[in-house]
Amino acid sequence: MSHLIRLIFTKRMLLLLILYSTSCISVKKVPFNQIVDTANKKIHFQKKKNFYFKDVGVHFTNQFEGSRLNNVVKINDSIFEVQILPENIPINSSPFYAFKVWGNQTKKIVIHFKYPKQFKHRYIPKIKSNNLWVVADSTRFSLSDSLSILKLSINPAPTLVSAQELHSNESVYSWINQLIVGKEAFVQLKNIGKTKLDRPIKVLDINKGKSKNKPIIVLLTRQHPPEVTGYFAFQAFLTEIFQQNELTDNFLEKYRILAFPLMNPDGVALGHWRHNANGVDLNRDWSKYRQPEIKNTVKYITKILKKNNSKLILGLDFHSTWYDVFYTNKDNELTEIPDFSTHWFEELESRIPKYEVNEKSSNSETPVSKGWFLFGHNAVGITFEIGDETPKDRIEIIGKEAAKAMMNILSKQ
């Protein structure tokens, strides 16, 4: 009897082992020259509250998704200091802020921005009233080494002041859901995991025709929450790929796209300067995958590659910085498309009058996505950076023409 029990137990354990091995995807860790600690770190949660100055009838609030406002101090009857803190430190100097302000009556006020002493103001205020975003001009906003000042006329209708236009989790996925209407035959929006705060991590899986042996292109954006101009370029880029025409049809018959439209849902919702809910810069975790956003993304890409015997040939990661720039890898000789960047930039310049590509090339020393594409998959990796203040209509042109140029070049491969 004991021998039979052992036999049954052994068979059950073997079956469980087989099931476990088929359900789990092993992902390859990618070494980088510079090690970055991406273990969980404590963050500072802002206290959600209304700030009401009854004597002058002025209200501030951070009680909405994506806000960043830690305190407000009244200097006098018309001057207020908004205090903005990062989620934790050390952190990139990209102070993000977002708050609503209104008055019991129409009133002119002045807002001073205050950050910890090691940080300087970065983003020109974007102001939303009557459902319209405008950039504060020089008559309303001034910036010096020691002081950043915004002049506002407020009234009982709340005015939203933000470092960049707010595009929350809800608005991103609302746009995605509208984009894929009528395209369900070749586009799937999938949940591939959860963040620390239980928000979904999603991917758009875009494919026409066969899946086997089909080259894969990966698109990423919003690893860093405030980098909205990069997201605008991603929107224009992806929208162009979804156009129904001969170029897009031929391209999607030859290539499969995995597009990740919101890599840091927690950071976006919390109004973070840069990090996720574990206090980590996601674009430094492309080596050991300690954070759920990167771990689940890498796992899904790996699963698709293995299942279909496919190669990852190109990765584009959309970001924002002070100016437009493409960060490329130097060592592309052994990739499937070694001359892609050269041809892509040449065609992009030919499509946009008086446009010059600003390329900066180096191999990644730290564990960023650009390096992961190259060192992990021998694929071309490019960080597609848009300037903080690049006009929105200009971004749309760049994103749209970049997608056309990519599809045209790769369709001829």
Instruction: Verify that 282 and 397 share a domain, yes or no.
Output: yes
For the segment 316-372, what is each residue's pLDDT rounded down to a tens digit? 999 999 999 999 999 999 999 999 999 999 999 999 999 999 999 999 999 999 999
Instruction: Verify that 114 and 174 share a domain, yes or no.
Output: no
Strands of the sheet containing 325-328, edge to edge, are 187-194, 200-206, 256-260, 216-221, 312-321, 380-387, 325-328, 359-361
Q: Which of 162, 179, 212 is the last residue of a domain?
A: 162
For the segment 205-243, what is each residue's pLDDT rounded down to a tens digit? 999 999 999 999 999 999 999 999 999 999 999 999 999
Instruction: Verify that 148 and 122 share a domain, yes or no.
Output: yes
Instruction: Verify that 78 and 218 share a domain, yes or no.
Output: no
Closest C-alpha among 409, 412, 402 to residue 241: 402
Closest C-alpha among 131, 39, 48, 133 to residue 88: 39
In a domain, 28, yes or no: no
Q: Which of 147, 162, 177 is the last residue of a domain?
A: 162
In a domain, 293, yes or no: yes
Closest C-alpha among 167, 230, 155 to residue 390: 230
Instruction: Verify that 221 and 74 share a domain, yes or no.
Output: no
Please report where in the chains the tokens 């009680």 appear, as a residue: 63
Instruction: Verify that 217 and 102 share a domain, yes or no.
Output: no
Q: Which of 130, 162, 194 is the last residue of a domain?
A: 162
Instruction: Verify that 150 and 174 share a domain, yes or no.
Output: no
Band the pLDDT of 146: cuts 50, 70, 90.
Answer: confident
For the segment 257-309, what is each residue's pLDDT rounded down to a tens digit? 999 999 999 999 999 999 999 999 999 999 999 999 999 999 999 999 999 99
Domain with 401, as residue range(s), is 169-411
Count, residues in the chain? 413
Structural domain tally of the chain? Answer: 2
Instruction: Verify that 97 and 207 share a domain, yes or no.
Output: no
pLDDT confidence of residue 145:
80
CATH number of the domain encompassing residue 72: 2.60.40
Assess whether the previous peptide bond of 225 is cis (omega < 30° from 0): no
pTM of the model: 0.93
